Structure 1
Amino acid sequence: MKPTKPQEPYFVGIDIGGTNVKVGIVDDAGQTLAFCKTSTDVPSGVEAGLKNIYQAIDDALADCRLTMDDIKAIGIATPGTMDIPGGKLVDPPNLPTWKGFPIRQTVCDHYGGKPTIYQNDANAAAYGEYWIGGAREAHSLVFWTLGTGIGCGIIIDEMIIEGRHSHGGECGHIVIQMDDGRLCDSGQYGTLEAYAGGTSLVKRCQEQLDAGRESVLNDMLQQGQELTPLLISEAGEQNDELATELIMESARCLGVGTTNLMHTIDPDMVLFGGAVTFGGKGTAQGDRFLQRIREEVQQRAFSVPYENTIIDYAELGADAGYIGVAGCARLACLKAE
């Protein structure tokens, strides 16, 4: 998107993760006017985290020479589980000290009643891609975010699928293996995340190494490196047989999950983002990973959705969350007018 002169009104987007918080000042066209990153400081509790967030907002506003009086609304995104209408976290695994915290009202009150909305982080990132990212020309989107686990956001004609109980779009937990499925960190068996999430990738790799599989990863681990999705990706870039096999198996499973959603929602576009995309768009391994997903979809999907659904990588990267939740705040304001 070509940069233009900042367009009023302005919004604050807050993307809260288990380690860091990203804060952005975003204009009406989705442009980031200022950005600040700070620590969530989970061990110190929610008050410490909020103190960091408020300071980051102040710093970002100062960077673009604005004050909170110039801000029309605030958007906050956190990982689940959550009560979106109630504006509170329920029992988020990545934020254990924030359990049950009414974050929307707390931030709203801190800023004198400034309109504040609350959203799931994957939904927010999906909306960012839908608003100004890779799906800006689409009417409907399935957005997969690949990291330690697997998140998903679904947008249909500006509407985020939140569900009646704030669990809509939790598609990393769809079941792809009914019998003797792998155990997911959520406690469920046979889920997509249990087969294609970053944590699962590491577990599957360690099982193969323990079973005696040859791999350059053995040498890397003997040198003191930690087994991570990134290390497996690096081994794959060296054409390591085990690493490539594991990465392509993750892609196959994502193809199964994608087919399920295509047959449920029939979207214009399916996008993949997050840290575990194995180099992403424009890299040899990233392109092979995406192509393997497409091949699995081709084998399993009806021909019409397969031939007409765009399957690609997302564009906004790590900025999608705070841009998207600022966009959600903007959307709420438009609906209220």
Structure 2
Amino acid sequence: MADQAQFVGLDVGGTTMKAAVVADDGRPLSKPVVMDTNPERGQDEGLATMCETIRRAVAAAGITLADVTAIGVATPGLGDIRKGLIIDPPNLKPWKNVPVRDHIARAFGKPTAYQNDANAAAYGEFWVGAGRGAKSMVLFTLGTGVGGGIIIDHKIIEGEHSHGGELGHLRIAMPDVGRQCGCGARGCLEAYASATNVVRRAREDMAWWRGPASRLRDYYTATDEDFTAKVIFDLAAAGDELALKVVDDTAYYLALGACAATATVDPEMIVFGGGMVAAGEWFRSKIEGYVKRFGLPYPTKSVKIAFASLGSDAGFIGTAGCARLLAHSK
């Protein structure tokens, strides 16, 4: 492939969508273009907004559509990756059975790759982020939920039904007594370690805490907008013992998920992304300590535990990388 190959990556979210042109070496050629998704306006307008975001990204890069080799699109929620369909995404209601890949391909006359957003972010980190140079990597994304992606030798493990890498639904507690997950089941990792559930666990811990006075109690009746995982991690970093307990428990739960992934995939690296990784090395080392303690001895002895490095750019960079994979396969 020519050195000047360039790829558009579009990362669609429930609130906004973001796109940029990315070079063959993974460098974005401009700042990403961001547009409101407005899913409530319907899928036809959503598809039109996707196309406009792509056009603006091409213009921002100072190139023309003729210079684009391929396009990648990633969306959240339930989809059929092989067919390029958004099926029934919770964050994009009322969209259903949207042929996003084929629509984009027809609109621009370019080869178009379609991927789940967490898989795309995982590929971005693998390609040019924290996992650069690794042969295999598992990514856990920590946000409102817990997502993930598994990459082995530049191949995204999609699974037979497009549900490979749904790491937030690894069971880390007994399904009849574990915490309730948003998926309806009990005991999922997401029910313990998402940013939303870190806050919920903190509220629950306040009810029985008999240790030293904690500033977390100041947030007991605060709204979820004011009482966030960041508040908990900041107080923990300042030495608040109850906040430290909540953070330590979070590291423990994430390590259980990492141990399950290690036993299944035996990756070279396990990477964590999302807002909580802003806590830095002390939190990463807590997770690593539990992984080494509870994981299978041989693989966990050598697996590298790292935090993601691309931030919110991982989605569109990884999606462009998926377009690059498609182009290289032809």
TM-score range, shorter chain: over 0.9
Tell me the alpha carbon deviations over residues 258-283 of structure 1, each in whole angstroms, 9 at most, x when there is no partner.
Answer: 01111111111111111222x24xxx
Aligned to 1:154: 150
| Match of residue 102, structure 2, among 87, 100, 105 | 105
Matched, 1:67 2:64: yes
Instruction: Return the offset for 1:168.
Output: 0.5
- Cα RMSD of the aligned pairs, angstroms, is 1.9
Answer yes or no: is 1:256 the counterpart of 2:256. Answer: yes
Residue in 2 that maps onto 1:333: 327
My pick for the range that moved more, 116-125 or 55-64, is 55-64
Among 38, 42, 45, the alignment partner of 1:45 is 42
State the one-letter code of the partner of 2:251.
Answer: A
> Structure 2: how far apart are the matches of 1:235 and 1:96?
36
Matched, 1:289 2:283: yes
Q: Shift of the alpha carbon at 1:313?
A: 0.8
* CA contact 1:39–1:49 (8 Å) conserved in 2: no
Compared CA separation, residues 212 and 133, structure 1 to 2 (3 A): closer
In the alignment, the residues of structure 2 paired with residue 293 and residue 93 of structure 1 have an alpha-carbon distance, to the nearest angstrom, of 30
> Post-superposition shift, 1:14?
0.5
Q: Check the 8 A contact 2:182/2:191 in 1, yes or no.
A: yes
Alpha-carbon distance in 1 for matches of 2:33, 2:324: 20
Tell me the distance in 1 between the aligned counterparts of 2:3 and 2:231.
42
Q: How far did 1:210 drift?
A: 4.6
**CA distance in 1: counterparts of 2:209 and 2:291, whole angstroms:** 32
The equivalences for 1:232-311 within 5 A come to 232-277=232-277, 279-280=278-279, 286-311=280-305
In the other structure, the counterpart of 1:196 is 193
Q: CA deviation at 1:232?
A: 2.1
SS of the aligned residue for 1:98 comes to coil
From 96, 99, 117, give the equivalent of 2:113: 117
Partner Cα distance (1:130, 1:223) in 2: 38
Report the AA paired with residue 247 of structure 2. Answer: I
Q: Which residue of 1 aligns with 2:214?
A: 215
Amino acid aligned to 1:204? R
Q: Please give the secondary structure, in 1, of the residue aligned with 2:90.
A: coil
Displacement, 1:138? 0.7
| C-alpha distance in structure 1 between counterparts of 2:304 and 2:23, whole Å | 28
Separation in structure 2 between the aligned mates of residue 231 and residue 20 of structure 1, nearest angstrom: 25
Distance 2:295 2:222 in 1: 44
How many residues are matched?
324
CA distance in 1, matches of 2:305, 2:148: 14
Equivalent residue number for residue 169 of structure 1:
165
> Is the CA contact 1:13–1:74 (under 8 Å) kept in the aligned structure 2?
yes
Structure 2 residue aligned with 1:3: none
Residues 1:136 and 2:136 aligned together: no
Q: 1:77·1:325 contact (CA, 8 Å) conserved in 2?
A: yes
Match of 1:227 in 2: 227
Provide the TM-score with structure 2 as the length reference.
Answer: 0.92
Q: Which amino acid aligns with 1:192?
A: L
Q: Which amino acid aligns with 2:84?
A: G
Say if 1:198 and 1:10 are closer, same or farther in 2 by CA, change over 3 A: same
2:308: which partner in 1? Answer: 314
State the alpha-carbon separation in 1 of the partners of residues 269 and 288 from structure 2.
12
- Give the superposition deviation at 1:194: 0.7
Aligned sequence identity (%): 44
Please give the per-residue CA displacement for 1:313-335, whole angstroms capped at 9, x wherever unaligned.
Answer: 11111111110111111111111
Structure 1 position 184 matched with structure 2 position 181 = yes
Q: What secondary structure is seen at the aligned counterpart in 2 of 1:14? A: strand
**Alpha-carbon contact 2:86-2:97 (below 8 Å) kept:** yes
Q: Tell me by how many angstroms 1:221 deviates.
A: 6.0
Structure 1 residue ranges without an equivalent (≥5): 1-5, 281-285
Name the counterpart of 1:283. Answer: none
Structure 1 length as normaliser, TM-score? Answer: 0.91
Deviation for aligned residue 1:57: 2.1
